[in-house]
A and B are shown apart, each in its own frame.
Chain A
């Protein structure tokens, strides 16, 4: 404990360690969060290296080995068309992580921008933006996502778009609240008093102060987005066959639960691990960076 506090107190001439550095250190000391991060890194590596490390082709069928159990040739068994489950789970990571990352990046960018402007500008703009966001929040998350995916048509881009749209309101609400809080603080008033224009104040002074909160929200939103992608694919509204998605694999295996239970095991475990890891990382980031929840 002493070791980490030392720099703060014994470097009178240098700048104190930034809140970022302190947060990062706190995060690294959180075992659960680190575990989550490792799981995510493993799945990311699998997704990126999929074509190199998978033993079979993604859509390579083998009609003489239908719904086979785990074996040395097929470590996680095969599916209803004799495709290798291990291969498809690894390729499924690409879809899950792409959708999770893609939709949250869009939602974070759009939602934060709208929220910041609404909080900073206020007035009618704030009213209009926030009422629209409230209206979207009034609908259940998944129902709205299903409706959007159905309207847009099922494919990868539209899945990302649908989940991005329904993930936007929480970002907008969060950043708006933060901006309203920061606006009243001395440093903002000082910046304005020194003649900084609105945009400069918002982006150079306020944004860095609320960024950590946005990032925490993003990591938790990604867990929800991965789960939403699985749900959409489960309902046939996600990526289309033969591209594997954990959700669609789970839907197929549902029909064989009584006879070939291992078919459900692999995609189910993959979803569980990734969503758990994202939540652990999200919790860790919140504990590390969000001043309000920090204990001690």
Chain B
């Protein structure tokens, strides 16, 4: 009897220990692709950052810190980067990580069909292996954003052996050198990673990570509060109070690099008229936006660079909020009663209705059209919209932060920008090596765009996660992706 009780107790303790070592993560979507060259979704990075080490990483202050590259040197002309690659690192498949793996990965990023990393790395002219653990990267032109890019999926080093063997299917059998190893996945159900005990920076304390997708924000919160998962990324602002009030759960909110803004189609009426855009800019009450749509969990933002990022300009001025002036501006432009359709993604209904309400007061007639992500992208990429609300996760360098949105060749140019003044400034900034001059150029672009109300920014986004109180040591890195290696379960 006693023996049986002891056995049961032992099993119970083992189970409890096992449970405590597993962290279950609720995401807002099933990560679409775990191959770093094909990944385009924010949710992917929640997983890829655990499986792959990147050449460099960011810390909480957005400083670039060593990861697989232990040190780096940049030539005086800004064209040659010499990276020392960490020794004694092995991939999950047992093969060693060396300079050749880095060269292979960067080459794969640049040449593989459908690579989403090609643009980010387009300044690379040549990658040379100059020692077993030394890589020399030569750029076509100086690019001050280069190291920042390597802190993302573009710098995620894959096992050449595994990548060659898997081919196009690498996203389903990802092999890196990170603190967690891909274990199994069932699409739309769960994705499991297990601890890498041979990790160069020490075995992680968490033994297993299980990701589960909950597209519906309310279902996500319900799963957190019922103990179904230990953390949800993200949590909607409206749920902050209830999660915070719940016993054993905390809300962690920290600045992100991203923003929400109204992007107008500048290529056709009504928003080809600067006066109509000025009316929009005068109508937006950012304080009310933060309060109504985001429960004051976010702060107003008037330009493309949030205060925690380079390019931020404390002296930047947007047209002041003044509903009467907005109406007067619209009337003076002979555009009272201007009709337009505001295109939104389905989860932005409240945000959309907020803009609809304030712009209606200013004298616009606003129809809302909701579209799922697929058809939505089809419409905005082909400029068939009047205006749309966009959310941007943000980048730490002003170039990837802003270039895609406002350069005539930008891949997120949903405003239809084709302005030589903006293109010239952005191109000079890309080639500028002096960081102060370079930042000044981005401020000039931002001022131009804000002065002419070409994009109307609303708020700086926040990373908001709901988490069980027994998870400790979650690093608050503004890019919003949790690095699980150092996290412990109490």
A residues adjacent to B (C-beta < 8 A): 59, 61, 63, 66, 80-82, 154, 236, 240-242, 252, 254-259
Contact between A81 and B241, CB atoms less than 8 A apart = no
Nearest CB of chain A from residue B386's CB, rounded to whole Å: 15
A9: shortest Cβ distance to chain B, in Å? 64
Query: A241–B352 contact, CB under 8 A?
Result: yes
Interfacial chain A residues near B218, Cβ < 8 Å = 254-255, 257
The DSSP consensus for interface residues of chain B is helix
CB contacts (< 8 Å) of B353 on chain A: these are: 81, 241-242
B354 lies within 8 A of A81 (CB): yes
Whole-angstrom distance between the alpha carbons of A101 and B374 in the complex? 35
**22 A–B pairs (Cβ distance < 8 Å), ordered by A:** A59-B356, A59-B357, A61-B357, A63-B288, A63-B291, A66-B291, A66-B292, A80-B292, A81-B292, A81-B357, A154-B370, A236-B346, A240-B367, A240-B368, A240-B370, A241-B352, A241-B353, A242-B356, A242-B357, A252-B349, A252-B350, A254-B218
B369 near A: Cβ within 8 Å? Answer: yes
Known interface pairs A63-B292, A80-B292, A240-B368. Does A256 touch B356 (Cβ–Cβ under 8 Å)? no
Do A59 and B360 touch across chains, with their CB atoms under 8 A apart?
yes
Given A59-B360, A81-B357: A255 in contact with B349 (beta carbons within 8 A) = no
Assess whether B238 is interfacial by the CB under 8 Å rule.
yes
Interface of A is mostly: loop
Q: 9 new A-B pairs (CB below 8 Å) besides A63-B288, A81-B353, A258-B242?
A: A59-B360, A61-B357, A66-B291, A81-B350, A82-B292, A241-B349, A242-B357, A254-B218, A259-B241
User: Whole-angstrom distance from the CB of A153 to the nearest CB of chain B?
Assistant: 9
Q: Which residues of B contact A255 (CB under 8 A)?
A: 217-218, 236, 238-239
Given that A63-B288, A255-B218, A255-B238 are contacting pairs, would A236 and B370 also be in contact in the complex, using a CB cutoff of 8 Å?
yes
CB-CB under 8 A from A241, the residues of chain B are 349, 352-353, 356, 368
Which B346-401 residues have a C-beta within 8 angstroms of A?
346, 349-350, 352-354, 356-357, 360, 367-370
User: Which residue from chain A places its CB closest to the CB of B356 in the assembled complex?
Assistant: A242
User: Which B residues are in CB contact (< 8 Å) with A259?
Assistant: 241-242
> In the complex, which residues of chain A have a beta carbon less than 8 angstroms from the beta carbon of B369?
240
CB distance from A57 to the nearest CB of B (A): 10
A250 to chain B, nearest CB (A): 13
Tell me the bound Cα distance from A80 to B238 in angstroms.
10
Given the complex of chains A and B, what is the CA–CA distance between A258 and B222 in angstroms? 10
> In the complex, what residues of B have CB within 8 A of residue A81's CB?
292, 350, 353-354, 357
CB-CB nearest in chain B for A260:
B238
Give the distance in Å from the alpha carbon of A219 to the alpha carbon of B242 in the complex.
43
Nearest neighbor of B225 in chain A, beta-carbon distance: A258
Which A residues are CB-close (under 8 A) to B352?
241
Q: Which residue of A lies closest to B241 (CB)?
A: A259
- The listed residue with most B CB atoms (<10 A of its CB), out of A66, A81, A257, is A81
Cα distance A254–B219 in the bound complex, in angstroms: 10
A205 to B285, CA, bound (A): 67
Q: Which residues of A contact B357 (CB under 8 A)?
A: 59, 61, 81, 242
Residues of A within 8 Å of B288, CB to CB, are 63
Chain A nearest CB, measured from B385 CB (Å): 15
B235–chain A nearest beta-carbon distance, Å: 12
For the complex formed, measure the closest distance between the CB of A81 and the CB atoms of chain B, giving whole angstroms.
Answer: 6
Residues of B with C-beta under 8 A to A252: 349-350
User: B112-123 vs A: 1/0 string, CB under 8 Å?
Assistant: 000000000000
Complex CA gap A154/B344 in Å reads 13
